[in-house]
Amino acid sequence: MKTTPNDKADGLRFKRATFRALHEQGCFVLPNPWDVGGIRRLEKLGFKALALDTGIAGLSVEDRTGHALYEEQLAVDRIKAAHEAIVRSGHDVVLVGRSEGYLIGRMELAATIDRLVAYADAGADCLYAPGITDLSAIRTLVSAVAPKPVNVLLIGPKMRVADLDDAGVRRVSVGGTLAAVAWAAFDRAVRLLIDEGTLPKRD
C-alpha cells in the first residue's frame, strides 16, 4: 500500500504524541543508535523510542560552544526561540533544555540547576544535565524542575536505571556507549582476523 502525505502526517503526530506521553510518568530508556542497523535491532528488541529518527519528535538545545558555556541570558533566549519556533510550526515536538557544565568540568550543582530552572521557565519540556551521576544531586535536580521531566545520561556500570527511576528520573539516555561497545567488539574481531586468520564465535 502506498503511503500518502496525510498518512505520513498522521503517523508523525502519533509518534510525537507517544513520545511526549512517555515523559509523563515512569522512567524509560532512550538508546542512541548510530546507524540504520542499530536502529533496526533496537526496534526489534522493543525500545519505545530512539534518539532520533527523521520526522522529529524531540530536539535538544545545548548551552555551550566548544569548552565554554553560553552566557546564561543568551542560553535562555535560545530556548525561548526554539520554543517559539515549535509553537509556530504547529508540531508537538518535545524541547529538551541541556546544561553542559558537568561535561566541561564546571560541576557546580546549584549553578546547573539555576540554568535548568530558567530553561524550564523559557519553554523547555524536559531538562538534561549530562554528566551528573550522584543520586542525591539527581534527586535535588528532579525536585527543582518538577513537574517537568528530567533526562539523565547513564554512565558506566555503577549507574542503574532502577535507581534513577526511584530518584524520579523520567528519561535515561546512553550517549555513545552502545556504539563504543559495538565498535570495540568489531576491532577485536578484526585484530583476531589479522593476527590469527580466524574469527570469534558468534553469539
3-state secondary structure of 115: helix
pLDDT in tens, 40-60: 777 776 665 665 744 567 788
Distance CA 53, CA 155 (A): 23
Say if residues 97 and 128 touch (Cβ distance below 8 Å): yes
Distance CA 47, CA 136 (A): 28
When pLDDT is cut at 50, 70 and 90, the band that residue 13 belongs to is: confident
pLDDT in tens, 135-170: 999 999 999 999 999 999 999 899 999 999 999 999
Domains of the chain: 25-175 (3.20.20.60)
**Neighbour count for residue 63 (Cβ, 10 Å):** 25
- What local confidence, expressed as pLDDT, does residue 192 receive? 94
What does 30-70 look like in DSSP terms, one character per residue? E----SHHHHHHHHHTT-S--TT-SS-SEEEE--EETTEEP
Supply the mean pLDDT for the chain: 87
Q: Using alpha carbons, select from 105, 121, 110, 137 the residue that is nearest to residue 73.
A: 121
Q: What percent of the chain has pLDDT over 90?
A: 60
When pLDDT is cut at 50, 70 and 90, the band that residue 1 belongs to is: very low
